Amino acid sequence: MIKDTLWTLLAVVVFPGGLFAMALGLALKGVERRAIARLQRRVGPPLVQPFYDLVKLMRKRTLIPDTANRFVFLTVPLIGLAAMGVAAAMIPIPGFYQPSPLLGDLIVLFYLVSVPAVALMLAGSASGSPYGAIGFSREMAIVLAYEGPILLSLVAVALHAGAAMGQPIALNLSDIVNYQQQHGAFLFDPWLLPAFLTYLSFIPANLGIAPFDIPEAEAEVLEGPLVEYSGPPLGLLKLTSAIKSVVVIGLGVALFFPNGPDGIAGLVVFALKCVVMVLAGALLKAAVGRMRIDQAVLFYLKWPELLGVAGLVLVAARL
């Protein structure tokens, strides 16, 4: 029991949560920035640029605005980071890492994934700046818009996997991964295609990739919820968003295409899948502009929502 707890703690703090997820997340950010630079005919920053940025921020002074709620302002970044550390530890890396059941199931993970968004909302409103407030309301609108589709997508996969394994619903991510390791990835199952597309459409909104980078739109609301942050807390917020990209992409990989070799090669394949997703994100970011918040919300309520429902109906019809 104690050993289990220790291992779990290690998983959260060092691998695959904590330090490892941070490193991977920052490296992915570096890859993204470099890729976008190349698409725009630029040289771009070195791949390790996000590490430099983070280290630099850790040494800057923290300014707390007079209008801000000091306690909330400073703790919120930590909450987001902690949630993401735990979430990262819950993502199985096939053939390499199996999360401990102590960490909880798919439902817990679903809630953890929305914590950074909530943290960002709190950060925005705690900062007491009008831009932060607008960032807050936009973040809220977009979260409400994508929460539905993502839930539908998760439920569809869980139902499908559950039926295949003879359970009512499979909520354990490891089981879902193991099933796919043996019976082939869900990505190639046409019945799950709508669910997969729904998940894909959720990624840019959650990670703040164009055209859905509305809450942090620099030209409109400065950087929205981040506007009043500086120094280490800003670094933590940036770090959180880096880990979040690992979690969200990792969850997608686990749900739809976990297959890979055993051992360290499995880890490499996992990282490569993340890189491919990030490159696709970079292409999207470089190829489009930003939507208006009402357009984005309408978009989610229309297409991903419909796709999500369709996906669930398809899966249910097969049961």
Partner 1 sequence: MTFLKILWDNLRKGPSTEAFPFGEATTPAGYRGKVTFDAATCVGCNMCEHVCAAGAIRFAEADDGLHFVIWHNTCVSCGLCAYYCPTKAIKLSNDWHLSHLQQDKYTQLDHGVVAYKRCTSCGDKLLPTGSVLTQLAYKGPNPRAERLMDLCPECRRKASTRGEAI
Partner 2 sequence: MKSFNMPVGPLHVSLEEPMYFRIDVEGEKVAGLEITAGHVHRGIEYLTAKRNIYQNLALIERVCSLCSNSHPEAYCMALETIAGIEVPERAQYLRVFADEIKRVASHMFNVAILAHVVGFESLFMHVMEAREIMQDTKETVFGNRMDLAANIIGGVKYDIDAAQSAYIISQLDRLEPLLLNEIIPVYETNATIQSRTRGIGRITREHCIEYGLMGPVARGAGHGYDVRTAAPYAVYDRMDVEVITYPDGDVWSRAMVRLKEVAASIRLLRQCLRDLPDGATDAGPLPFIPAGEAVTKVEAPRGELVYYVNTDGTDIPARVKWRVPSYMNWDVLHLMMVGEGISDIPLIVNSIDPCISCTER
Partner 3 sequence: MNFFSTAAKKSPWLYRINAGSCNGCDVELATTACIPRYDVERLGCQYCGSPKHADIVLITGPLTARVKDRVLRVFDEIPDPKVTVAVGICPISGGVFRESYAIEGPIDRYLPVDVNVPGCPPRPQAIIEGIAMAIEIWAKRT
| Secondary structure of the chain in HEC code, one letter for each residue | CHHHHHHHHHHHHCCCCHHHHHHHHHHHHHHHHHHHHHHCCCCCCCCCHHHHHHHHHHHCCCCCCCCCCHHHHHHHHHHHHHHHHHHHHCCCECCCECCCHHHCCHHHHHHHHHHHHHHHHHHHHHCCCHHHHHHHHHHHHHHHHHHHHHHHHHHHHHHHHHHHHCCCCCCCHHHHHHHHHHHCCHHHCHHHHHHHHHHHHHHHHHHCCCCCCCCCCHHHHCCHHHCCCCHHHHHHHHHHHHHHHHHHHHHHHHHHCCCCCCCHHHHHHHHHHHHHHHHHHHHHHHHCCCCCHHHHHHHHHHHHHHHHHHHHHHHHHHC
Give the per-residue contact string, 182-211, with partner 3 (x = CB under 8 A; - = no): ------------------------------
**Residue 121 interacting with partner 2 (CB under 8 A):** no
On whether the CB atoms of residues 93 and 16 are closer than 8 A, the answer is yes
Out of partner 1, partner 2, partner 3, none, which partner does residue 38 contact, by CB within 5 to 8 A per kind? partner 1
Judged by beta carbon distances under 5 to 8 A according to partner kind, the member of partner 1, partner 2, partner 3, none in contact with residue 128 is none
- Tell me whether residue 46 or residue 168 sits nearer to partner 3 (CB atom): 46
Q: Choose, by CB under 8 A, the member of 214, 234, 242, 247 that binds partner 2.
A: 214
Which partner, partner 3, partner 2, partner 1, none, binds residue 26 by CB below 5 to 8 Å per kind?
none
> Cα(first)–Cα(last) distance of the chain, in Å?
38
The residue (of 288 and 313) whose beta carbon lies closer to partner 2 is 288
Choosing from 53, 105, 189, 220, the residue that interacts with partner 2 (CB under 8 A) is: 220
**In whole angstroms, how close is the CB of 211 to partner 1 at the nearest point?**
13
Taking CB under 8 A as the criterion, which residues in 216-245 touch partner 3? 218-219, 222-223, 226-231, 234
- Which residues make up the interface to partner 1 (CB under 8 A)? 37-44, 283, 286-287
With CB under 5 to 8 Å by kind, the binding choice for 283 among partner 3, partner 1, partner 2, none is partner 1
* 61 contact choice in partner 2, partner 1, partner 3, none (CB below 5 to 8 Å, kind-dependent): partner 3
Cβ proximity to partner 2, 262 vs 294, nearer residue: 294
Q: Work out which of 81, 217, 237, 251 binds partner 2, going by CB under 8 A.
A: 217
In the complex, the residues that contact partner 3 under the rule CB under 8 A are 33, 37, 40-46, 49, 51-53, 55-56, 58-63, 218-219, 222-223, 226-231, 234
